Amino acid sequence: MRIAALDDEAHQLELIRHSMEVIGHECHGFARGKSLLRDLHRETYDLLVLDWALPDIEGPSLCQTIRTDLNSSLPILFLTNRREEKDLVEGLAAGADDFMAKPIRVSELQARVHALLRRAYPARQDSALSFRAYRFHPSTRTLRIDGRLVDLSRREYELALFLFQNLGRLLSREHLREAIWGIGTDTPSRSLDTHISRLRVKLDLQPSNGFLLSAVYGLGYRLEPLEGDQPAAQHAISTRIE
């Protein structure tokens, strides 16, 4: 995962960076809040670790800006010397997801980051998800059918995985648009239809492969296993390949 860490003390920033890299994450360090804000306009991260007291901006104010002006839902962990209950309330009210008091204890920091990432990106914690011949690899956002890699765009992959994770369930058009494009986005209806049409072809969703992707007029779409194959499909939903 890609993490951004903000702390104006160089040794603290280095400790955070090293703690994240040890457990397999890429960590980018920032010493000023405004520098991080500028970077967030053009770069993406999976989680933010923010110091509370900074020379140019207070942590809660920065957190609130990230939530409102950038409309970001990135998990945010505060690191601070403050321990009063009112400070905890202020930080969480500003939009933080967790709160850790300094001095930094490496094992606790790693555990809190791991917990936040697990909650924010549950699918990316799985090695693979198999539905008969279809095998999804969330960590790399790839899909293989009988071992063959399928060329999918990011949204095509997300839509395909979402449909398979909801096998047999009728999903409204709005539900699908919100799940793939996000709540509040003005996505043309034809964009969803185009993605569905491409998936039918790219994933070869036909009787011989045991799945049927159908449109329900006026409602949405349903991906379902063909009659007689329901038990195997339902079993596949819960199967995780390590």
pLDDT digits (tens, 9 = 90+) for 9-49: 999 999 999 999 888 888 999 999 999 999 888 887 889 99
For residues 106 and 108, what is the distance between their CA atoms, to the nearest angstrom? Answer: 5
- Structure-token pair, residue 147: 């071992």
Q: How far is C-alpha 20 from the chain's CA centre?
A: 18
Share of the chain above pLDDT 90, in %: 46
What is the Cα–Cα distance from 231 to 213, expressed in whole angstroms? 18
Please name the CATH architecture into which domain 125-237 falls.
Orthogonal Bundle (1.10)
Residue 124: per-residue pLDDT: 57
Domain segments of the chain as ranges: 2-120, 125-237
Which candidate, 125, 103, 113, places its Cα nearest to that of 48?
113
User: Is residue 32 within 8 Å of residue 55, measured between CB atoms?
Assistant: yes
Q: Which fold has domain 2-120?
A: Rossmann fold (3.40.50)
The SS3 assignment for 30 reads: strand
Identical topology for domains 2-120 and 125-237: no
Q: Cα–Cα distance between 205 and 72 in angstroms, integer? A: 35
Task: Render pLDDT for 115-138 as a digit per residue (tens, 0 to 9).
Answer: 999 888 775 555 678 888 899 988
Q: What is the mean pLDDT of residues 78-92?
A: 83
What confidence score (pLDDT) does residue 235 get? 34
pLDDT attached to residue 23: 86
